[in-house]
Amino acid sequence: MTARLPMALGQGNPGVFISMLFSQLGLSAELLRAIADQGYEHATPIQEKAIPLVLAGDDVLAGAQTGTGKTAGFTLPLLQRLQSSPATGKRPMIRALILTPTRELAAQVGESVNNYGRYLPYRTSIIFGGVGINPQIAKLRRGVEIVVATPGRLLDHLQRGTINLSQVETLILDEADRMLDMGFINDIRKVMKSLPAKRQTLLFSATFSQEIKRLSKDLLNNPSLIEVARQNSAAESVTQVVYPVDRGRKLELLSHMIGANNWRQVLVFTRTKHGANWVSQQLQRNGLVSDAIHGNKSQNARTRALSDFKEGKVRVLVATDIAARGLDIEQLPHVINYELPDVPEDYVHRIGRTGRAGLEGKAISLVCIDEKKLLEDIQRVLKRKIDKVLIPGYEPDPNILPEPVRKRSNRRPTGNARPGGNRTGNGAGNRNGSSAGNRNGSSAGNRNGSSADNRNGSSAGNRNAPRRRAS
């Protein structure tokens, strides 16, 4: 249970916004009791705006990031609508469908539905891939009113004829922008064919691209628009900072920061799956309990890593963008971008993991010379500069030349590959924390930048230097 600040999330000046009490929003006694169990009293701005519209039966197009309380913003009125128009048939039918981009988000939304609906009789089925389909089929056969699903596995059920969506009254697309980014557009359109044309549709998206506008035009009927945060703006409660550092010293700096500050729960982002594995392995070697979470891991491994992280058994969780999308980790204080994302909007999503629900958070980006352009793109999207802070002893070497950043790929990982995929290697990760870890103890590796400094990562002499990736 979490008692949260009754403040205006996503508002420039939280002090000015007087938020409504949940008891003023016309919700049923069962829902108010479940909300009280969560320790919430005041609605967040998205909840205050969305709940009355959804209760009135409107289609809604909502601009809201994760961390604004949007899940309760659609779940509470959805449950209330089910409650106020009981189904007529004897057999339970699926009356609400919530689509999410990732398995983790589906699991979290499902958990919210169960939490808020704990005093109501509805059954929820959570459907995603990477786990056996038979238990899902069995549960659907027993009958559920609410389905939370990722598009791919849902389509699988539709094709097998193991799900019937013909009675769906409300469709919710959560994090629709992410679903499109992940290439789910065709799956979504196919799913739509199985839904009744007459229904309520709610679309939640952190950003509004042309593609999202097109999708909402096709799916929504005269929607009410709500927006609680500036488009693409980062959560206001997150302090953002850039630490310029050489590519070959990022790991050293990362370990140093976590250790020196005694941070106990840190989410680290890399661009690639192999990068996530590599950073996690190196942190382990440096004595920090760490795990990686990405799309090549089984669903069970992902779930375990996440719960270990939430419970404090894992101190550092290293994640790729897709795997981390939608993670709701309460009060996560630190997010570190080991590498900047290829897509600026992912930066916004990443830092949305911290500073949740009005709490303070810090997002740190370790930025090397190769990432200059990526940083500029992010600042353009944010419409502001992020403060740069030089960490004494880790100032970038001006002699190091930029190298191209390799784009995210879906290639299979090949052994001990490096994050970022720079051809000449990362060179970070030496255990003793000297800048280049030169085994022979020559002047190479001198942190102060002697010309022999192996800092730009040719891995010669570096004990832990990762092997070159076969390409």
What residues make contact with ligand AMP under the rule CB under 6 A? Answer: 4, 40, 42-44, 47, 66-72, 328, 330, 356-357
Nearer to ligand AMP, 69 or 361 (CB): 69
The CA distance from 283 to 344, in Å, is 26
Which regions of 102-166 does DSSP assign to beta strands (E)? 124-127, 146-149
The amino acid at residue 466 is P
Q: Nearest approach, Cβ of 330 to ligand AMP (angstroms)?
A: 6
Nearer to ligand AMP, 70 or 418 (CB): 70
* Sequence-distant (≥ 6) Cβ neighbours of residue 444 within 8 angstroms: 436, 438, 450, 452, 453, 454, 461
Q: Nearest approach, Cβ of 453 to ligand AMP (angstroms)?
A: 45
Which regions of 18-103 does DSSP assign to beta strands (E)? 60-63, 96-99
From the list 313, 348, 347, 307, the residue with the least C-alpha distance to 330 is 307
- Residue that has been written with the tokens 């056996």 in this structure: 132
From the list 468, 367, 396, the residue with the least C-alpha distance to 426 is 468
Q: Nearest approach, Cβ of 410 to ligand AMP (angstroms)?
A: 27
Which regions of 40-153 does DSSP assign to beta strands (E)? 60-63, 96-99, 124-127, 146-149
Nearer to ligand AMP, 39 or 183 (CB): 39
Nearer to ligand AMP, 64 or 386 (CB): 64
Nearer to ligand AMP, 117 or 427 (CB): 117
- Residue that has been written with the tokens 């609400």 in this structure: 96
Nearer to ligand AMP, 153 or 356 (CB): 356
Nearer to ligand AMP, 218 or 330 (CB): 330
From the list 290, 292, 310, the residue with the least C-alpha distance to 301 is 292
The CA distance from 175 to 204, in Å, is 5
Q: Nearest approach, Cβ of 449 to ligand AMP (angstroms)?
A: 44
Q: Nearest approach, Cβ of 50 to ligand AMP (angstroms)?
A: 11
Q: Which residue's beta carbon is nearest to the bound ligand AMP?
A: 4
Q: Nearest approach, Cβ of 76 to ligand AMP (angstroms)?
A: 9
Q: Nearest approach, Cβ of 113 to ligand AMP (angstroms)?
A: 12
